[in-house]
Chains A and B, each alone.
Chain A
Amino acid sequence: MNYNWNWGVLFEEQYLDWLISGVGWTFAVALSAWVIALIVGIMIGVGRTLPTKPIAHICAAYVELFRNVPLLVQLFLWYFVMPEVVSDDLGRWMKRDMPNPEFVTAVIGLGLYTASRVAEQVRAGINAVGGGLVSAAYAGGLSTAQTYRFVLLPIAFRLIVPPLTSEFLTIFKNSSLALTIGLLELTAQSQQIAEYTFQGFEAYTAATVIYVVIALGATLISHILEKHTRIPGYVGKG
C-alpha cells in the first residue's frame, strides 16, 4: 500500500470551508425534511388507524408507494420529471426561477419519503396502546378526536421515541442522496476534496467522523427524551 498521508489538507482554508459548508447543507436538508416527515408522517400514520375506511386505505397506499420505490428514483422524479408534468407556467418557473432548486427538491423528496417510514412507526405506536384503553376512553364519553388527542397520541409518542430517533438519524444519512441532484452536502464535499487533493483517506475520514458525532448526538438526545417522557410504572401493552 503506497499512500502519502497529509492530514493537514483538511485544515487548508479552502477545503475546511468546503467541509463546513457541507455540514451546513446536511443539517439544513435533514432538519427541514424532518419537519415535513413528522407532519406528514403523523397525519398518514394516524389516518391508517382511523375507523373511516377510505382514509385508512389512502394512507396505506401512500406508505406502500413511497416505501417501495428507491429514494434515489423519487428524488429524480421530483427533480427532473415534476417540472414536466405540472402546468407549463409552473414547470418553467420550477426550472428557471425557483430559488435553490436542489435544496427544495431534496427537502421535499426526502421529507415525503421519510414520512412513510414515520407513519409506520406512528401506526405501530398507536396499535401498541391497546384496544382496552380506547374502549375506556369511548366509554368515558370522549369523542374519537379527543381519544386520539388525550389518550392514544400521548402514549404512542412515548412508545415510539426510540424508533423515531433511529429515523431521525436515517434522515441525516439519507440526506447524502441529495448529492445526486447536485447539492454539495457533507458526503459530496468529502468526495470533492478527495478528487481535488487525492487525499481520499483524510477526506472520507473527516466526513465519517462528523456523521458519527451526529449519530452520537442523536442517541444522546434520544436518551434524554426517553428519560423525560417515561411514564412512572408503565411497561407498555398490558
Chain B
Amino acid sequence: MDNLDLSVIIDNLPFLWQGLQISLSLTALAVVGGIALGTFLALMRLSGFGPLSWVAAGYVNLIRSVPLILVIFWFYFMVPLALGRPIGSFYSALIAFVMFEAAYYSEIIRAGIQSVRKGQVHAGKAIGLSYWQIQRYVVLPQAFRNMIPILVTQAIVLFQDTSLVFVVSLRDFMTASSIVARTEGRLAEMYLFAALVYFTICFAGSIFVRRLQRAKTA
C-alpha cells in the first residue's frame, strides 16, 4: 500500500475514458428506453382493463423478483436466439437494461400518476377529453413534474448498475478498469480509482436531486 503508483491511471486514461463513455451512453439510452416502456407499462396497469393490467403487473413483478445479472444472462442468451444472429454485446446489454429498468420506472410512474388528484381527471372528463387525451394532456405532465427527482435518483442507480455488464465482458468503465488492473497488476490503484470516479459522479447527481427537491418544495 505504501507505493501507490498513480502513473498506471494516467497512462491508461484514454482506454478508461472509452469505457466511461460506454457506461454513460448505456445509462442514457436505458433511461430513455426504460422511462418510455415504463410509462407504457404504468398506463397499461392503470387502464382498468383486466387482461392489460394483469400482463403489466405480471411482468413488473416478475422482473422485480430476479437479479439484474440473471436478466443480463437471459438477454445475452435470448436476443441472438430470437433474432437468429448475434447483434453485439452493447445492444444485448441495452435491451436487458431497458427491459429491467422499465419495471422499476413503471412503479415510480404509477405512483406519480396516482399522486395527481382525481379532480383533475374529472375535470378532463367534464370537458369531453378521452382517456388517452386526459393522460396525455392533463395527468402525465403533472405526474412527471412531481416525479423528476425520483426519476433522476433511479438514473443514478442505473448508472451504478451498468457496472454489472462486467459479467459479460462489455468494456464499460468497470470492465476497462478491471482489464487495466489485471494486465498491469495494479489492483489497488485501479479499483480505488474506479470507486472514486463512480462516487464523484453519483454524489454530484444526488446533490443535484436534493436541489431539485428543494426547488419543488420551495
Contact = CB atoms under 8 A, between A and B. Distances in A.
A204 B70 contact: yes
B187 A84 contact: yes
A74 to B, nearest CB: 8
23 contacts: A1-B81, A64-B203, A64-B206, A67-B206, A68-B156, A68-B206, A69-B198, A70-B174, A71-B160, A72-B164, A73-B194, A73-B198, A76-B191, A80-B181, A81-B187, A84-B188, A173-B66, A173-B67, A177-B164, A187-B67, A194-B73, A204-B70, A211-B70
A191 interface: yes
Contacts, number: 114
A65 B199 contact: yes
B199 A81 contact: no
B191 A80 contact: yes
Given A68-B206, A81-B192, A173-B67, 9 more contacts: A2-B84, A67-B206, A68-B202, A73-B194, A74-B195, A175-B67, A204-B70, A208-B70, A211-B70
Contacts of A194: 73, 77
Nearest to B162: A70
B82 interface: yes
A200 B79 CA distance: 12
Interface string B48-83: 000000000000011011111110011001100110
Kindly state the interface size class of chain A when it binds its partner: 35 or more
B202 A180 contact: no
A77 B189 CA distance: 10
Contacts of A64: 203, 206
B66 A211 contact: yes
B192 A174 contact: no
Given A72-B163, A180-B166, A81 B70 contact: no
Could you say which of A73, A191, A204 has the most chain B C-beta atoms within 10 Å of its C-beta? A73
Given A73-B198, A187-B69, A204 B77 contact: yes
Interface of A: 1-3, 64-65, 67-74, 76-77, 80-81, 84-85, 169, 172-177, 179-180, 187, 190-191, 194, 200-201, 204, 207-208, 211-212, 214-216
A68 B167 contact: no
Interface of B: 1, 61-62, 64-70, 73-74, 77-78, 81-82, 84, 156, 160-161, 163-164, 166-167, 174, 178, 181, 187-188, 191-192, 194-195, 198-199, 202-203, 206
Contact of A212 (B65, B78, B84, B164): B65
Contacts of B166: 72, 180
Contacts of B74: 204, 208
Given A70-B198, A73-B194, A211 B65 contact: yes
B65 A70 contact: no
Contacts of A208: 62, 65-66, 70, 74
B202 A84 contact: no
A135 B66 CA distance: 44
B65 A215 contact: yes
A177 B69 contact: yes
